[in-house]
Chains A and B, each alone.
Chain A
Amino acid sequence: MKSKDDMQQRLGLGLKNMYLSVLEEPLPDDMLALLDQLDDADDNGDKNDKNNGASRSDLNDQG
């Protein structure tokens, strides 16, 4: 019969392995593409801001 400490240790290692296995996965392309898209949208927004006099915070006020 396994001791309580042994079970705790196995549980801790199991949780860490589960978490690490996801960390080691390659990132989905669509997530990085989303960041690029947001960055591009910002650049375009900045250009429009200069033309229209709007501030960036107007675009960001979403909570």
Chain B
Amino acid sequence: MTKGKTLSSAQFKQELAEAIPHLRAFGRSLAGDRDVADDLVQDTLLKAWAARDRFIAGTSMRAWTFVILRNTFFSSMRRKKFTGNYDELVAERILSAPASQQDPLHLADLQRALMELSDDQREAIILVGAGGYSYEEAAEIANCAIGTMKSRVSRARKTLEEILDEGRFTSASDGHENLTATALENIIGEVAKIGS
């Protein structure tokens, strides 16, 4: 089996920088909080850089880094480092973003409703419904079967519709646990380790 071609540091850095806006959008939708999401992106950048010899030139940097970000998020959720929650300030800012359609959804409600979904369903609807990934690509990122991805998206759509139709929010979308200091400390430590 032949090893794929890798990128030079400069090329890798450029492709990684181009992926950052998408990582932020994916992370924000997943975590529901701007600061937590940005810490998540910084963790992802560190891990991607450390593993750059494994990235194959010509493949999708965005998809590759999305896998790192979602794995970091779910593994940190298990350790309670990052906590998915609803950020009211972010929602207000999103609400003020120009909407191109008539009778738009109240985007603050949508952000909040997303946090009512299970993590798997939220990830699925973000990848397919917001990020524009095909079911196949999304399944690859989430490391599940295509049928599972389709099912998650379908259930997520149904649940979101019900929540938004009925305004049925629970306290699940109200939590605020900000543990970003620990994340930042980890990042500084990782940089020091790589540079030493």
Contacts and interface: CB of A to CB of B under 8 A. Distances in A.
Do A and B bind? yes
Interface of A: 4, 7-8, 10-23, 25, 27-28, 30-32, 34-35, 37-42, 44-45, 56-57, 59-60, 62-63
Contacts of B157: 8, 11
B181 to A, nearest CB: 15
Interface string B95-107: 0010111011101
Contacts, number: 125
Question: Which residue among A15, A17, A34, A56 has the maximum number of chain B CB atoms within 10 Å of its CB?
Answer: A15
Contacts of A19: 25, 29, 126, 130-131
B195 interface: yes
Interface of B: 9-10, 13, 16-17, 20-22, 24-25, 28-29, 38, 41-42, 45-47, 49-53, 93-94, 97, 99-101, 103-105, 107, 110-111, 125-126, 129-132, 157, 160-161, 164-165, 187, 190-191, 194-195
B29 A18 contact: yes
Interface of B is mostly: helix
A20 B163 CA distance: 23
Contact of A31 (B45, B50, B110, B111): B45
Contacts of B111: 18
